[in-house]
Structure 1
Amino acid sequence: MTEEPDDAEFGVDPRTPRLPMLLEAVLSVGTDLELRATLQQIIDTASALTDARYGALGVLDPERGTIRELFVSGLSRAGREAIGDLPDGHTGMLGALIEEAQPLRSDDLTRDPHSGGVPPHHPEMHSFLGAPIRVDGKVFGNIYLTENRTGHFSDTDMALLRALASQAGIAIGNARLYETARRRERWIEGAAAVTNTLLTGKSAADALTTVAERARLLSNASAGVILQPDAEGGMEIVAASTPDDPAGLVGTAIAPGSPVLVQLLGGEAVFIEDSATDPRMTTHVRSRFGPSMMLPLQSGGRLIGTLALPRRRGALPYTAADRLLASQFASQAALALVLADAQHDREQLAVYEDRDRIARDLHDLVVQRLFATEMMLESTRRRAGPGETDELLGRAVDELDSTIQEVRTAIFALQQPPAEAPTTFRGQVLRETRGAAAVLGFQPSVHFTGAVDALVREPVGGRLLAALRGALAAAHRRTGVSSIEVEVDVTAALPDGRAAVRLAVADDGREQDGSRLPGVIWQAPL
C-alpha cells in the first residue's frame, strides 16, 4: 500500500489554513484513471493551491529530453494558440528545472539569470515556482506556476507544491499503468479483428487495406499504407487508408537507391522523426507527414511488405511503447496475411479438384455413352438403306456429334482457373463467349477443330479475338437472335494452299424477307 506524504517532511505547518486544501487536493488527484484528465487535474489543483494565476505541466520526452506535451491552467484556448509552438525545454527557467530536477523559485523572472525571456504573445510573468514530478524514481514532467496573487511564492507554497508533486507522481504512475494496459488491449483486439476479417476470404487487395486501416486507427496516424517490392527493384504503395482520398498515395514508389530502401527490403523497422525533412525519405508525398513508423510485414522469413504509419506534421512523435505495440501488431498481421493466403490457396485447390472430377465424369461417362449411341445409330442407318429413315438417322447422328463437341468444350472450360484470365487461346475464346452470354441472355455454342492452342499465335490470335468480339456485338444488336454458333478451325487452307485458321460466327437471325442472314467468316494464315 502506498503511504500518504508526511506534511512535516515537506515543511508544511499543520496549522496553516491551506492544509485542508492540500488534503482535499491529495484525495482528489488521481480519482480519474485517464492519464490526460489526471494531468489536467494536477495542474488545476496546483494553481489553486498556491494561488497562482498561470500554471503549466510539461510532460518530458525521455528519449529527447524535451517537453512532449503541455497542460495549462489560467490561459484561454485563444491565448494558448497565440503563443504558438511548445517550448523546447532546453532554455530559460523551464530548461533549468529540467536540468537540475529540483524545485526552483524566483520572485522576478525578468531579472533571474536562469530566465531566457518569454515568447511573443505570452502573458507577462514575474514570480515563478516549479517542481519536478517523479514516477518510479524518474522525472516524468515538471509543474510550472507563475504570477502568485501576492507577488511572490512563499516557502509554504513550495512545500505545498512538493507535497502535491509527490502525490501526483503516484497518481500519474497509476494512470500510466492503466493507459498502457488499455492501449495494449486495443492493439490485441485490433490484431484479433484483422485476423478474423482476413480469414473470412477477403481478396488480397482488400486484406492489405484492412491491415492498413486498422493500424492507422490504433496508432492515431494520419495514414496507413502498405508498400510491396516492385519490378524495378523499389517499393510501391499498393494499399492505403486515410481520412481523405487515398488515391494520391496508392502507386507512389520508393525508387531504387533510396537510403531507406535497403532497410525496408531487408525487413528492418524504420522510425522517422519528421518525414518532410528526413533525408532518407524521397517520395513526393513526404511533405504531408511528420513522425512515421515503417514496420516490416514478415512471417517465417517471408517479407510480404512494409506497413507505414505516418502522422501529420507537428503531431506528437511515437513513443517507445507505440513502437513496440505497432511492431507486435505488424508481426501478427503478417502471420494473418500468410494464413489467409494459404486458406485461399486451399479453397482454390478444392475448387480445381472438384472441377477436375466433374470433367472426368463428363469425359468418362457422358462422352463415352454419347459416342456409343452415335455408333449404334450410324450402324442402324447403314442397314436401313436410303429413304426417310436414313435421313432422320443421319440428322440424329449429326446432333449427337454436335453434342459431343459441346460437352468436350464444357470439359475444357471446367479445366480453366475460374478466377484467372486464361492463358491458352482456346480459353480466351471461351472467355469471350461467356462474357457475351451475360449480355445476349444465352450461351453461344463453340466448336474447335484441330490443335488450336498449338497453332494459333500472336498477332493472329489477337486479331481473331477482335473479330469474334465484333461478330458477337453485331449479333446482339439484331432482333430475334436466340442462338449463335462459333467455330474455330485450324485445318482450313487459303486458296494458295497455305494453312490457315478460320473463324465462323453464325446465328439464327433472319432478313426481313425471312431469309437466313449470312454468317461472319474470318480467316488468316497460320
Structure 2
Amino acid sequence: MRLDELLDELQVRIDEVRGTRDRVHSLLEAVVSVGRELDLAQVLRRIVEAAALLVDAEYGALGVIGPDGRTLAQFLTVGLTDAQIAAIGPLPAGHGLLGEVIHHPEPLRLTDLGAHPCSHGFPADHPPMRTFLGVPIRVRDEVFGNLYLTDKRGGVDFDTEDETVISTLSVAAGVAIDNARLYEGAQRQQRWLRANAEITESLLSGSSRPAVLELIARRAREITGARLAHIAVPVDGVDGLLVEFAVGEGADAQQGLVVAFDGTLSGAAHRAGKPVTALRASGDGRCADEPGTRGREDGAGPAVAVPLGTAGREGRGVLLLARAAGDPAFGEGELEPLVAFAGQAAIALELAERRRDAEQIALLEERDRIARDLHDLAIQRLFATGMTLQSAARLVEHEGAAERVGRAVDDLDETIKIIRSTIFGLRTRDREGEPGLRARAARAVGDAAPSLGHPPILSMEGLLDTDVPPQIADHVVAVLGELLSNAARHARATRVAVALKAGQGEIVLTVSDNGVGIPAQGRRSGLRNLDERARAVGGTFTVGTPDEGGSRLVWRAPLTPGG
C-alpha cells in the first residue's frame, strides 16, 4: 500500500514537471511569436492572444495607456465576438478596476472582480466575468499598457504560476513593443521625407495652390492612418477658418465649411500656434463644433490639429487629422515629424503665394506694355487714318461713296473708343486690387480642371472688365463655378466649353459639354437656384440639349438695371 502511494505521488510530480515543461515551452513559443513581428498593431494583437492562451483564460484584453497617463487610448480584446463588442458600446476608458492597474502598475489577482471596491460593474450587454488577472507592460521603465485576463477555464482561480508566466510574457512584450515602435518610427520618418520631397517637386513643377493643398492633406492622411484630413485657412472678413480642402470619410460635406475659432481643435491650434490633440474627439469640449467629429454614432476617435505656420492671422492655416474610434492616439513620436511636415507645408504654401504674386506682377507689367502699345501705335494710326478719310470724303463727288467713307470714319471712331476702354480696363482694374471678370473667370475655369479631369475650353469676348457692373460680375463668377461643379459631378463629359460674351447691353455665359445630359427626373435644386439668380437681376437661364448630345446651359443678364 505504501509503495502504491509513493508511485501515485511520483506520477503526480512527473505530471507537474511535464506541465511546467509544457508551459515553459509554450511561454518560449509565445515570446518568439511576439518578437517576430515588427508591425506594432500585430505585435499588440499577438501579445494579448498569447497571454490568454498561456493561462487558459476565456477573455483577454490589452489596454494601451494614453498620453495623459490616466486613461486608455486603445483597447484590444480576445474572446469577444464582433456582435458582443458592438452590443457593449464604447470601449473602456480606463476607469474602475481597469484604472486600478493603471494607477498602481503592479500585478493584481482577484477571485471575484465584482467584489473589489474599485469595480463599477458591467454594461447591460457585457458577458459576466468573475476571476481576474491584471499585469502591467513596461517599455524602458515606462508603463505602456496593461494585460487584463478574466475567467480561467474550468472555473478555477488564477494562481501564482499564472501571474509569473504573464509577468514574464510582459517583459518580452515590452521589448517587442519597443522594437516595433522604433521600426515604425523609422518607416514613418521615411514616408514623411518622401512626402516633403514630393511637395517640393510639385511646387517646382508649377503646381497650383489647390493642387499643393490636396497633396498635403492626402499624404498626411495616408501616413498617419487618419479617417479624415482637412485644411482650414483664415479668410478676411470671416470669423473662423474656411475648409479649403478635405479628403477621407465625409470629405464632401466638409468642403467650404467655416470652422469657428471657439469650440474646435483647429481654432485652438491656430490661435496657439502649436499642435492640439484630443484623445477622444467625441467627448472633448474643444471638438464640440469641429466638422468631421460631431454627430457620429460610433463616436469620434483621436484627433490632432497642427498649424501651418505661426499663431494668429499670419498663419497659413491648420491641418486637422481625425482617426476612427478605437484607433491609437497621436503620441509624441508622431507629433514631431507631423509638426516638421506642417512647417514644410507652410513654406510650400508661401512659395506658391510668392510665385503667384510674381506671376501677377509680370501680368500687370505685360498689360501696361500692351496698353502703351495700343495707345501709342494703334490709336494714333487709326486716328490718322480717320483724318485722312474725312479729308478725302470732301473730295468725293459721288454721294453714295461719300456716305460710305463717312460710315468708315464713324467705325474708326467707335474702334478708337473700344480700344481706349480696353486700355482703361487694363490699367485701372488690377491697380485697384480687384481682379477683373476676365481674370476671375479664367481662374474659375483653371480651378475646375482637376475635378473635371481635363481643362475646359474658354472663350471670352467683349469689354468684360469695363462694361460689366461688379454685382453682375459676381453673379457670373458664382454661376460659372456652380455650372462647372455640376459638370464635374454629374456630366461624365470629356469636353466642356465655356463662352463668356459681353455686348449689346447684356452678358451671356454659355457652358456646354458632351456628357450624359441632364435627366428629366433628376434633382434640379441647383438649376433652380441659377434661374432665380438670373431673374433677380432681370435675366434668364435656359437649359438645352445640342443635336450632338450633352447639355448646353445659357445664363444671361442685362448690363444695366431694368435693361
TM-score under structure 2 length normalisation: 0.62
SS of residue matched to 1:18: helix
Report how far residue 217 of structure 1 moved: 4.8
| 1:334 aligned partner | 346
| 2:331 aligned partner | 319
Report how far residue 418 of structure 1 moved: 8.4
Determine whether 1:357 maps to 2:361: no
Q: Of the candidates 232, 245, 250, which is equivalent to residue 244 of structure 1?
A: 250
In 1, Cα distance between the equivalents of 2:27 and 2:281? Answer: 46
The answer to whether the 8 Å contact 2:263/2:285 transfers is no
Q: Of the candidates 40, 43, 52, which is equivalent to residue 48 of structure 2?
A: 43
Report how far residue 154 of structure 1 moved: 4.4
| 1:494 aligned partner | none
In 2, Cα distance between the equivalents of 1:72 and 1:224? Answer: 31
Determine whether 1:146 maps to 2:153: no
Determine whether 1:296 maps to 2:328: no
* 1:46-89 CA distance string (max 9 Å, x none): 22233333322222224232222222223322233333333343
Counterpart of 1:340 in structure 2: which amino acid?
A: A
In 2 relative to 1, CA 31–257 (structure 1 residues): closer, same or farther, beyond 3 Å? closer
Q: CA RMSD in A?
A: 4.9
In 2 relative to 1, CA 134–341 (structure 1 residues): closer, same or farther, beyond 3 Å? same
In 2 relative to 1, CA 245–15 (structure 1 residues): closer, same or farther, beyond 3 Å? closer
Determine whether 1:172 maps to 2:172: no
Counterpart of 1:293 in structure 2: which amino acid?
A: V
| 1:346 aligned partner | 358
Report how far residue 35 of structure 1 moved: 0.7
Report how far residue 101 of structure 1 moved: 2.4
| 1:100 aligned partner | 104
Query: Structure 1 unaligned runs (5+)?
Result: 1-11, 432-440, 447-451, 463-467, 477-521
Query: Structure 2 unaligned runs (5+)?
Result: 1-16, 442-458, 475-501, 511-558
Q: Of the candidates 227, 231, 234, which is equivalent to residue 237 of structure 2?
A: 231
Report how far residue 273 of structure 1 moved: 4.9
TM-score under structure 1 length normalisation: 0.66
SS of residue matched to 1:387: coil
Determine whether 1:54 maps to 2:59: yes
| 2:486 aligned partner | none
SS of residue matched to 2:317: strand
In 1, Cα distance between the equivalents of 2:63 and 2:272? Answer: 39
In 2 relative to 1, CA 395–188 (structure 1 residues): closer, same or farther, beyond 3 Å? same
Structure of higher CA gyration radius? 1
In 2 relative to 1, CA 245–410 (structure 1 residues): closer, same or farther, beyond 3 Å? same
1:181-220 pair list within 5 angstroms: 181-197=186-202, 208=213, 211-212=216-217, 214-219=219-224, 220=226
The answer to whether the 8 Å contact 2:264/2:290 transfers is no
| 1:504 aligned partner | none
In 1, Cα distance between the equivalents of 2:260 and 2:311? Answer: 25
The answer to whether the 8 Å contact 1:240/1:246 transfers is no
In 1, Cα distance between the equivalents of 2:323 and 2:341? Answer: 17
| 1:162 aligned partner | 167
Report how far residue 141 of structure 1 moved: 1.7
In 2 relative to 1, CA 265–217 (structure 1 residues): closer, same or farther, beyond 3 Å? same
In 2, Cα distance between the equivalents of 1:175 and 1:350? Answer: 53
The answer to whether the 8 Å contact 1:223/1:311 transfers is no
In 2 relative to 1, CA 283–98 (structure 1 residues): closer, same or farther, beyond 3 Å? closer
Report how far residue 135 of structure 1 moved: 1.1
In 2, Cα distance between the equivalents of 1:265 and 1:114? Answer: 40
Counterpart of 1:82 in structure 2: which amino acid?
A: A
SS of residue matched to 1:330: helix
Counterpart of 2:152 in structure 1: which amino acid?
A: N
The answer to whether the 8 Å contact 2:48/2:77 transfers is yes
Determine whether 1:387 maps to 2:397: yes
How many pairs are equivalent?
437
Counterpart of 2:143 in structure 1: which amino acid?
A: V
The answer to whether the 8 Å contact 1:58/1:142 transfers is yes
* 1:470-503 CA distance string (max 9 Å, x none): 74579x9xxxxxxxxxxxxxxxxxxxxxxxxxxx
Report how far residue 163 of structure 1 moved: 2.7
The answer to whether the 8 Å contact 1:260/1:280 transfers is no
